[in-house]
Amino acid sequence: MAVDIRVYQSTLALSHAVSDYFLDLADRAITTRGRFTVALSGGKTPNPIFEMLASRDYAEQINWNYVHVFWSDERCVPPDDHDSNFRVARHLLLSRVQIPIANIHRMRGEDEPEPAATAYDAVLREFFTRRLGIPRARFDLVMLGMGADGHTASLFPAMNAVRETEKWVMAQHVEKLDSWRLTLTPAAINAASNVAFVVTGAEKADILKRVLKDPPDPNNLPAQAINPVNGNVRWFLDTGAGKALKD
Binding site for ligand 6PG (CB under 6 A): 41-45, 72-73, 85, 145-147, 151-153
Nearer to ligand 6PG, 85 or 172 (CB): 85
**Cα angle 11, 4, 215; round to 5:** 110
What's the DSSP call for residue 216? Answer: P
Nearest distance, CB of residue 151 and ligand 6PG, angstroms? 6
Q: Is there a contact between 238 and 7 (Cβ–Cβ < 8 Å)?
A: yes
Nearest distance, CB of residue 145 and ligand 6PG, angstroms? 2
Nearest distance, CB of residue 132 and ligand 6PG, angstroms? 25
**From CA 93, how far away is CA 97, in angstroms rounded?**
7
Beta-bridge partner residues of 83: none
> How many Cβ atoms are within 10 Å of 79's Cβ, its own excluded?
15
Nearer to ligand 6PG, 122 or 148 (CB): 148
Q: Is there a contact between 211 and 217 (Cβ–Cβ < 8 Å)?
A: no
Q: In what order do the strands lie in the sheet with 169-174?
A: 73-75, 179-184, 169-174
What's the DSSP call for residue 203? Answer: G
Nearest distance, CB of residue 135 and ligand 6PG, angstroms? 26
Nearer to ligand 6PG, 30 or 93 (CB): 93
By Cβ distance, which residue is nearest to ligand 6PG? Answer: 145
Nearer to ligand 6PG, 45 or 194 (CB): 45
Strand 36-40 versus strand 141-144 pairing type: parallel
Nearest distance, CB of residue 126 and ligand 6PG, angstroms? 23
Nearer to ligand 6PG, 30 or 205 (CB): 205
